[in-house]
Structure 1
Amino acid sequence: MALSKALYLIHLFFIHFLPQYEYILYETNDRGKNGQIEVVMKRDSLGYHIIYKSDRTIEVILDTINLQTLYVNKIVGKKWELSVKRNHFFEVNYRGRKNYYNESNPVYDRHTLDFVLRGFDYNKNFKKRIRLNVPEFMIINADLEVIGEENITTPAGSFDCWKIKMTPRVVFTNMKFYFYIEKQYPFRFVKYTDSSGKNSIFLKEYSGQ
């Protein structure tokens, strides 16, 4: 009975386990400024360990079952900016401003969405509300919805993807965010755009095992 319940809970939230190791290179356009993000991920018994490198370095640990955020440390240039820890509370320290949240459900930091959104079991009718940590503000609700299927071609190849719209449930923005997630294993994060039309991310290189 306990095993059946555990399997049900995994299916309810995530059924996708990601590879043991990945190297990913993204091409970015941030309001006309081109750049790259280099990502290395390794999975062990403690979680998914991820390092992002661009003009900043972000170290992340995600839970292996539900991909919730367990740890974040962000350095911009040589200056520390953010730390997040999940213990009894969800602890956020943004530029010295500390907040402690009593959250019983998974919380996902905004810096980790490229991995988090790879874990859900999508279908044409998929809708889900998540708790999203936006360190500059607070933990908010955000709605996810599959709004279509597209074939996306990037320098890394062509991918059949789910198109997912994310809508933050806040009054201070009406922005919509669009993520394209590969339909088949390893469920790669292939493309990102938003409703401003000024920001984008594309998968440029990938290797995994």
Structure 2
Amino acid sequence: MAQTKVLIVDDETDILDLLEYNLEKESYEVLRAMDGEEAISIARDHKPDLIVLDIMMPKLDGIETCRQIREIPGMDQVYIVFLTARSEEYSEVAGFEAGADDYITKPIKPRVLLSRLKAILRRKSSEEPSETLKVHDLEIIRDEYIVKQGDRELTLPRKEFELLNFLAARPGKVFSREILLEKVWGDVFVVDRTVDVHVRKLREKLGDSYIQTVKGVGYKFANK
């Protein structure tokens, strides 16, 4: 069985050493990069299963690095965890807008980090089987993370797709932001506004008629 390949990216050598030591103890194959440009090159060449990515880095910050990695063929669905000393809400939201799956603040606690990475990888291994969901004029191809809308074909970032898939599978049912965070983001610690950001991006791509706001409650997929 192939080792799970983890790319760790940080401009501080002691942090890379700490992460590498603890990941290798858990039998992960570890790749290292010290800046965003190097991370993009390694991601392109080695296709890691998961990336732990610092935000504050030279050359390219983590957010722009994440965006560029998502554009590499075959890397649009890789799991990316941001590692940062910044705890401001705006940086967290910006991270998820760029396509991050999780967000961990420094100082690093190796046990906590390993637990979060294992939880993410468990979600990956238990993703829904190949199936196509047809609702209204949308065709949601779950195993390919593709949405077809008439003649248009869209490849959505992971969390946008998962949010759309979750709501579309339950048309007419209203979900609060808290429930959506629990069901779509799992045990990731994010702010409620993250849901609003992803809904806005879906509306920009698909139109406003699919996901409806229920004032004071949350969101639902239109039950036409």
Fold shared, TM-score > 0.5 on shorter chain:
no
| Higher RCO structure (Cα 8 Å, ≥6 apart) | 1
Which is higher, the Rg of structure 1 or of structure 2? 2
TM-score (norm 2): 0.28
Greater strand proportion: 1
Compute the TM-score of the two structures, normalised by the length of structure 1.
0.29
